[in-house]
Structure 1
Amino acid sequence: MTQPERPIFVIGCPRSGTTMLQLMLHAHPRIAIPPETRFLMAAYDARSDFGDLGIPANRLALARWIVDRRQTRFADLGLDGQRIIEQIVAGPPTLGSALGIVLRAYAARFGKPRWGDKRPGYFQRVSTLRRLFPDAQIVQLIRDGRDCVASLKEMDWYKQDSFHALATWVESIEAGDRAARSLGPEAYHRLYYERLISDPATELKALCEFLGEDYDPAMSEPGRVAAVAVPGRKVWHDRTHEQVTTTRAGTWRTRLTAEEIALCESVAGDLLREHGYEVDGGARPDRGDHAHYRRVAAHRRLAARKRELRDFVHRRTEPGEVAYRSPSSPASD
């Protein structure tokens, strides 16, 4: 039943439970998903800076950029940096291959063959993930947008307001819907947070079927692996050390203001209903709030469009192939 080497990427709106899902996958005896990295998309966007990776010196520069910079969060992976550098230099001359070597090494640290990554914001870059890793399987976790907004606005690290939080949830759902249509059920799978915490075994069995893996009951107890897969500094993930519980579902009712609830249900009511969430829809949002949200959403759409245009231009001049190759493929020096 097991699949050949296919990377697994977990996406979703921030604060939708993706860390819990990461741990559930990491608890599987054949799968390892690391703490959030900061180098996949940054390396892709900077790929022209590294030049032709067919040249060993350029692969060395890329490897040191991944390993030595604090911004990449490489230190969280518990890997031997020098060994990773050597493997990248000796590996296939593509960007995806270099990135994959790091993720594979993390899985190998736990004696596991399946590897991948988790970062909520990857929902904005699904097409890039598939460029880097053409065989990737995408797993999206969806949570009630009102709970995501409530949780985001309470995070010390979140520097935006509830308008941006709501726009982020809407974008994540729309991006997931596009991914579902373009990739199909063989490469894209959707889970719902509320169902996952209510009946982990059933939802995880369906996920494992998608991944081509056998379900293991350890996946329903993600707290057992939190100590090794969640950096201690991330105190906002303290609940991942506990048993799976339903206590946080629907808490938006007491954590959002009446004005925030009205805005969420006015702006995202159709999306909420389409994904199975009940919406009262009785209250009307303040006109000023609605106008402010529209400006925020328009600004974010413009930023996304600019990113797509930059990528389109860079693809015409990128120095070489980006798709992942297994390290067993010889490097072209």
Structure 2
Amino acid sequence: MKNVAEASAPLSDVYAHAVRLLENGRADLAAAQAREILRAVCTHPPSELLLAQAEAASGDEASAVLRLRRLAAAHVDWGAPLLELGRIQARQGDGTGAIASLRTAVARTPGLPQAWLALGDHLAATGDEAGAQQAYAEHVRHATTDPRLMTAAAALADGQLPEAERLLRRHLHAAPTDVAAIRMMAELAARIGRHEDAERLLRRAIALAPRFLAARLNLATLLHRLNRPEEALAELDVLLAADSRHPGGRNLKAVVLSRIGDCAPAIEIYEQLLREYPEHGRIWLSLGHALKTEGERERAIAAYRRSIALEPGFGEAWWSLANLKTFRFAADDIAAMRTQLQRGDIENDQRAQFEFALAKALEDCGDHAASFAHYESGNALRRRSLPYRPADATARVRRAVRLLQPGFLRERAGAGHPAPDPIFVIGLPRAGSTLVEQILSSHPQVEGTMELPEIIGLSNRLRREAGDGGGYHELLATLTPGELRDLGQTYLDRTRVHRKLGRPFFIDKMPNNFLHVGLIHLILPNARIVDVRRHPLACCFSGFKQYFARGQAFSYGLADLGTYYRDYVALMAHVDDVLPGRVHRVIYEELVADTEAEVRRLLAHCGLSFDPACLRFFENDRPVRTASSEQVRQPIYRDGVDHWRHFEPWLGPLKAALGDVLDHYPDVPKGIAAGYR
């Protein structure tokens, strides 16, 4: 701080006494003491800052704000007044102003750890996860005083993970209860995928310091990423009980609630946050997603439009409009997207989403050549960030085929959990699985949920336990009937949070679960399995047109799509051979052509009586999160069945990869599964 007169020793004592008064809750006496100092020396910025803090604590925030702004203007290299200003703005619900003040505070005084922490919390509330993590890293860097810990924090903030781990281990050996170091070690473990270690460390930090809210938020975030929403919400409830306005905690709670289908309270939280951060496009985007899931189409469009108005270069918001499927862009929208694509400063991920959105807009206009060119560009960008090896999926199918042999299955008949509750809807993305889910969930005995990740989570757990870097099938072969039953129970326990209506059956619509059909059969032998299949060119090209939020790395190349489809058909053909009748197949084109007959067959396979509501599925107002959410709220239409033909001139690589699978659809080429044994 410049131009500040050095206080005498007695003045220092008086100032220190005033600080203690404020810390002990005597804001009125602290303010009086600060005024005495200022009357005596006229200019003493620390006392003026203290006076502003005391005024704010006494409820006179207007005077505090004026004083802090004067201080900030007079001392342009001092961040502390802006930290206090940011805190007041946050309490007043001005999150945007708080972020601006805190950014300036850390720019002026980078060594303000509490400013970095507060900035991280606000950025987390706006959905800027990368910015929040960087702010938290800077907080750790500047909050420590031990030189060894400071060095470790700097290494962690700079991404030097091996060096950070070495230094942290040495520090924790000497100071095993240092909660800041424990949290840093947990962050490091999470970054390199050691999730169990990260959870254990965070729980230890919280046990040592229950009001360590930053560690509790880290734990809730980790639990959310590990698909343990109930536990994440429990931690968030504790955090918000301690600080009901914690911005990052509120935002994460909305995210978790949306994940489990509780969109109404999530919408309330997002709307509350937007009153505090009205200029942050990412919150508007999150609100739009929640509204879309709830079926509030027009409000979702308005939220996406607001996000775009605030951040025209935010490709994700443009793609979110396109991803409504029933939305049509206007000519000025197309011009705006083309303008944005000419910029050189847009990140590749955002650029890819612009490409997909513009391709959809041009497709709707009938300009199929230009549309395909943009789809191709978007897929090429996406593939650079998601490397994919087709041989890996083929290897997984081969392992499954080798395991699921008649003798192996006979030996395990009766194993697993006997519950008949789940109805698994599998296949490939964009094959019509959301339509089948909507039909089934319209039955009064069936609850629709969403694309549940629990089976994939169990397969990942088995893969980690196998420990060879390959598949889990060899380990699965060693499990006892009791262990298979326990896995089934784990699945039922983890999906319970998604069941809200008390119906006897529920749907797990995760298309990629076809790769784990053997696991499903072994741990839940009475669950129903429905395979939804669509013409290979229609299904694969629809996948090529889709920017998936996560996963589906196979979908960003036409040849890869064809190979993946072929692997899928081969595995399901093998299952039909060794477990005849276990999987019910719905051919999408047949469902469209004769809906009632196919619905009756589907319900019979699931052990359900026919209900006319299943034919009026489009009246079902349940939340739908997938890309087909708007389409399944309309009666079945036949125009889209052959829509891929507009793009047939460019589908040569896809046709070549599909081979005889394309020629035989909807039948299966004889002996296709034999090549995987």
Range class of TM-score, shorter chain: 0.5 to 0.7
TM-score after normalising by structure 1: 0.62
Aligned to 1:113: 504
Distance 1:133 1:196 in 2: 27
Distance 2:568 2:546 in 1: 19
Partner secondary structure for residue 630 of structure 2:
helix
Aligned to 1:298: none
1:207 aligns with 2:602: yes
Displacement after TM superposition at 1:195 (Å): 0.8
Aligned to 1:218: 613
Distance 1:254 1:48 in 2: 42
More off after superposition, 201-210 vs 267-276: 267-276
Query: Contact 2:487/2:523 (CA < 8 Å) preserved in 1?
Result: yes
Matched AA of 1:272: L
Aligned to 2:624: 230
Query: Contact 2:419/2:524 (CA < 8 Å) preserved in 1?
Result: no
1:154 aligns with 2:545: yes
Distance 1:93 1:179 in 2: 21
Displacement after TM superposition at 1:146 (Å): 0.3
Distance 1:110 1:39 in 2: 20
Matched AA of 2:615: S
Partner secondary structure for residue 506 of structure 2:
strand
Distance 1:164 1:267 in 2: 8
Aligned to 1:244: 636
Distance 1:164 1:202 in 2: 34
Partner of residue 123 from structure 1, selected from 506, 514, 537: 514
Aligned to 1:328: none
Query: Contact 2:421/2:504 (CA < 8 Å) preserved in 1?
Result: no
Matched AA of 2:661: L
Query: Contact 2:561/2:654 (CA < 8 Å) preserved in 1?
Result: no
Give structure 1 stretches of 5+ with no counterpart. Answer: 51-91, 278-300, 306-333
Aligned to 2:435: 20
Partner secondary structure for residue 201 of structure 1:
helix
Distance 2:528 2:461 in 1: 24
Displacement after TM superposition at 1:45 (Å): 2.3
Distance 1:104 1:250 in 2: 39
Q: Which has the higher contact order (CA 8 A, sep 6+)?
A: 1
TM-score after normalising by structure 2: 0.32
Aligned to 1:192: 587
- Would you say how many aligned residue pairs link Structure 1 and Structure 2? 230
The within-5 A match list for 1:259-278 is 259-260=650-651, 262-276=652-666
Displacement after TM superposition at 1:104 (Å): 5.0
Structure with greater helix share of residues? 2
Displacement after TM superposition at 1:213 (Å): 1.3
Partner of residue 40 from structure 1, selected from 443, 452, 455: 455
Show CA shifts across 1:91-121 (max 9, x none): x9823212213445644x2231112411110
Displacement after TM superposition at 1:248 (Å): 0.9
Query: Contact 1:10/1:120 (CA < 8 Å) preserved in 2?
Result: yes
Distance 2:527 2:485 in 1: 19
Matched AA of 1:270: D
Give structure 2 stretches of 5+ with no counterpart. Answer: 1-417, 466-483, 668-674
Partner secondary structure for residue 640 of structure 2:
coil
Percentage of matched positions with identical amino acids: 22
Query: Contact 1:17/1:141 (CA < 8 Å) preserved in 2?
Result: yes
Query: Contact 1:221/1:244 (CA < 8 Å) preserved in 2?
Result: no
1:173 aligns with 2:569: yes
Alpha-carbon RMSD across the aligned residues, in angstroms, is 2.9
- Provide closer, same or farther for how the CA distance between residues 174 and 116 of structure 1 changes in structure 2, counting only shifts above 3 A: same
Distance 1:24 1:153 in 2: 26
Matched AA of 2:420: E
Name segments (4+ residues, structure 1) moved above 6 Å: none
